[in-house]
Amino acid sequence: MLKRFVFAREDQPGVEWMERFATGRQEAEGWYLGKSASEPTGKTRGERPTGTECKAALLRYMPELASHYEHACELVGNDEIVRCILSHYRPPPAPVGCSIAIWSGAQGPAFIRNYDFRLDVVSDRFEMANWSGRRVICKAQRPWGGCVDGMNEDGLAAAVTFGGSPAQGLGFAIILVLRYVLETCSDVGEAISALCRIPVAMSHNVMLLDRTGAHAAVYLGPDRAPCVTPTMATTNHQETIVWPTFAAGSATVERLSAVEAALADPGMTLPRLVTCFLSDPIYSRRMVSPTVYTAVYRPADNRVDYLWPGRTWSQGFDSFKEGEYVHDYGELI
């Protein structure tokens, strides 16, 4: 199976973004209305919020994004459903895989993440943006603002995994919250404060690392208080397994055990750890949630390497290279 990826620089959403949104609007509406995702437990979000409610929620919890949100809404028509979609408020459920590890040894600090997701749903876009005077490199997802991992030029890196609970609530998609953190925070302490005050719609784990080596994993959910932990690894559960069916299907326990064993190996190096992330059981070849890419963030060096077996694409704030790459995933199982 082939998938094309794009590396692009776009300081702020403009005409090119508007054209992309118009092309993908049907998919965006399908995402927000829940037509492209299955409800994990048969529960629903309840009645969809109004555009006014979505704007009010964004202003309350992430006011620094308000002007960017209004600009994006105006670019694409400013109608009711657009205001809802672009707010990322009360989205549908989207449980996925993913594995992350913090590396504090030689060539660190760094974190490595595998992003596991359906290839037909994940966006093709890696980008560098500069919305508010702080450059951000990230893997973009969804029509506006969303990102699943990234780093800003202050040396703060962040990535998200699904947290393993079917709970749903009145909050935001974590991908916009992650963008907010990268846009407004300079270090792990500031990021923790932001994550602990913004409500999220689903269960998620957010791994943070800054250029000083400070790190944390923040466990979030609509049905729990935030928990900040110094763990060096996370997959798709939090303190305990609360959704056994998902845990078994995603191999979250097996993947976490493999990551923790690698980190505990006294002979481990960063290159060897990367090899572990490109190998079974951490690397997924499952059709429902294959490893889309591996990322190695080095905030002290302002550098990120995006990897696929046999291919590495390195990016930095002063050396960002635009281009395209097509990866052949072969036969998935």
Question: 311 pairs with which residues across the strands?
Answer: 308
In angstroms, the Cα distances linking 100 to 151, 307, 317 are: 15, 14, 23
Residue 46: the pLDDT is 64
Which two structure tokens, joined as six digits, stand for 61? 């919890």
Residue 78: the pLDDT is 86
Residues of the chain with pLDDT under 70: 36-46
Q: Report the alpha-carbon distance of residue 109 to residue 98 in Å, rounded.
A: 20
CA nearest to 112, candidates 289, 317, 291: 291
Provide the H-helix boundaries in 105-152: none
Q: Report the alpha-carbon distance of residue 82 to residue 94 in Å, rounded.
A: 20
Residue 42: the pLDDT is 40
Task: Give the 3-state secondary structure percentages of the chain, helix then strand then coil, rounded to 5.
Answer: 30, 25, 40
Query: pTM score, two decimals?
Result: 0.95
Distance from chain centroid for Cα 178 = 7
Q: What are the strands of the beta sheet with 291-298, ordered from one edge?
A: 233-234, 99-103, 110-116, 291-298, 303-308, 311-316
Q: Report the alpha-carbon distance of residue 69 to residue 65 in Å, rounded.
A: 6
Which two structure tokens, joined as six digits, stand for 59? 């202003």
Q: Are 160 and 178 in contact (CB under 8 A)?
A: yes
Q: What does 14-79 look like in DSSP terms, one character per residue?
A: -HHHHHHHHHHHHHHHHHHTTSSS--SSS----SPPPHHHHHHHHHHH-GGGHHHHHHHHHHTT--
Domains defined along the chain, listed by start: 10-87 (no CATH), 99-328 (3.60.60.10)
Q: Report the alpha-carbon distance of residue 229 to residue 216 in Å, rounded.
A: 6
Q: What pairing do the DSSP bridges indicate for beta strands 2-9 and 125-129?
A: parallel
CA nearest to 308, candidates 332, 327, 287: 327
Q: Report the alpha-carbon distance of residue 150 to residue 137 in Å, rounded.
A: 6
CB atoms within 10 A of CB 280: 12
Residue 94: the pLDDT is 82
